[in-house]
Chain A
Amino acid sequence: MSFEDWIFAIHLLSAATLVGALVMSWILTVALRSVETAGTTLSFNRVAMVGATAIGVGLVGAIGFGIWLAILRAAFHPWDGWVIAAIILWCIATAAIVRAVAEYRKPAERARALIASGQTGPDAELAALNRTTTALLMRALASVAIVLIVIDMVYKPGA
């Protein structure tokens, strides 16, 4: 494998980590919607942190190695239309994910406060936070942007 092949492989591994972690975060998001107790919320939060870290690694790796590859490869350039489209979509996805992660901090904070005050049973406010629509919409926006990036990368329109 050439140096360029390695960069390409790491770029795609990062992308796979990103999309895989996004699938993982969707599983957690759906499961979290029926959670009403502080203990379970924090348990889910532990798993969600792993997913969020994987998403972060995937986002940084995909863009970093992707741009590096566009510079390295004679066949492509960073200013090609499909590369610029991918970068714009990446920015939208990143902004949406950052917003979604911030939203999901709220139920974790509420759960910690409940546990500190000795409340371990169901809590209506916590349940509402776990069903946050904003975070769901942001995650959906990020997912659509990432699916569009994958389509853009596979078919390379204009390349």
Chain B
Amino acid sequence: MLLHIVGATVVFGALLASATSLALARGEVRLLRLGYFSLLLVGLPGLILMRLSGEWIYRKQGWGDLPHQLRDVAWLRIGFVVADGGAILFLLALVVGGVGIYRLRSGKGGEGLLKVTMVSALVLAVAYVVAVWAMTGKPGKPGVGAAATPAVSAGNPAATVTVTATEFRFTLSQAGVPHGTVVFKVENKGKVAHDFSIGGKTSSLVAPGKSTTLTVTLAAGTLLYVCTVPGHAAAGMKGNLTVK
């Protein structure tokens, strides 16, 4: 994770340096060269580090093994689009900028091509801001299963289930509940933070030794419940609740 963050911030820093140097160069050859070589010598290694460590996290945390509705989340899609689509734009910017630098050296201009590189770096920097927002805010963070039509009013729960979270399993006080509004009392008796997701709703992150409640209206059927902290479901924090 640390390598992924370091790689991403190195790329972001190189993009900032490149875009700013190229934008403020005003014909100064050293700044134009600085703008290009920031991308090549700093940004490119950062991009490789970020992408490889990101892929390693994806495999290590077992995202590929998760159910489709958990894996197919907006923030992860944004991350992949920015990383992979961004890599293509990054390489194109490098090629165009490389030609620009070559033309600059041989006195045939090249500033126009470096402007294209500058615009690309700027677009990529903005895309990375969006990716950081998506990776941290996690828009579209999934709940699991479908919420049902309310059968019981929220003030009159059909059942109350105590959910005990440890590393890395959930223990529920009952294996089945009647359909309608169910209150889950989530207690974290583990050593790291966990949450509990079911029926399209996810509890707040619960610190070790703390607890929270989650009220969900459930339809009859078998519903998957998981901890949505990356890697925890794959490690065993998932199961099925029978709703009658």
Q: Is the interface of A mostly helix, strand, loop or mixed?
A: helix
Is the CB of B170 closer than 8 A to any CB of chain A?
A: no
Q: A24-B13, A27-B34, A154-B2 are in contact. List 5 more A-B contacts (CB 8 A).
A: A20-B12, A24-B17, A27-B14, A74-B210, A150-B6
Q: CA–CA, A151 to B38, complex, Å?
A: 25
* 30 A/B residue pairs, CB under 8 Å, sorted by A: A1-B137, A5-B138, A6-B137, A9-B136, A12-B135, A13-B132, A16-B12, A16-B132, A20-B15, A21-B13, A23-B10, A23-B13, A23-B14, A24-B20, A24-B38, A27-B14, A27-B34, A27-B42, A28-B17, A43-B25, A43-B31, A47-B21, A51-B17, A74-B204, A74-B207, A150-B2, A150-B6, A151-B2, A154-B1, A159-B193
Q: Is the interface of B mostly helix, strand, loop or mixed?
A: helix
CB-nearest residue of chain B relative to A28? Answer: B17
Chain A 23-71 interface residues, beta-carbon cutoff 8 Å to B? 23-24, 26-28, 31, 35, 39-40, 43-44, 46-47, 50-51, 54
Would A9 and B137 count as touching, CB distance under 8 A?
yes
Known contacts A12-B132, A40-B30: A75-B206 contact under CB 8 Å: yes
CB-nearest residue of chain B relative to A42? Answer: B28
* A151 CB contacts on chain B under 8 angstroms: 2
Is the CB of A76 closer than 8 A to any CB of chain B?
A: yes
What range describes how many residues of B lie at the interface?
Answer: 35 or more
Is the CB of A22 closer than 8 A to any CB of chain B?
A: yes
* A9 CB contacts on chain B under 8 angstroms: 132-133, 136-137
Would B129 and A13 count as touching, CB distance under 8 A?
yes
Partner of B207, one of A35, A43, A75: A75
Total A-B pairs, Cβ < 8 A:
110
Q: CA–CA, A45 to B51, complex, Å?
A: 32
Chain B 53-104 interface residues, beta-carbon cutoff 8 Å to A? none
What range describes how many residues of A lie at the interface?
Answer: 35 or more
Q: CA–CA, A51 to B12, complex, Å?
A: 12
* B1 CB contacts on chain A under 8 angstroms: 154
Q: CA–CA, A75 to B205, complex, Å?
A: 7
CB-nearest residue of chain B relative to A146? Answer: B9
Would B136 and A12 count as touching, CB distance under 8 A?
yes
Is the CB of B5 closer than 8 A to any CB of chain A?
A: yes
Is the CB of A129 closer than 8 A to any CB of chain B?
A: no
Is the CB of B234 closer than 8 A to any CB of chain A?
A: no
CB-nearest residue of chain A relative to B35? Answer: A47
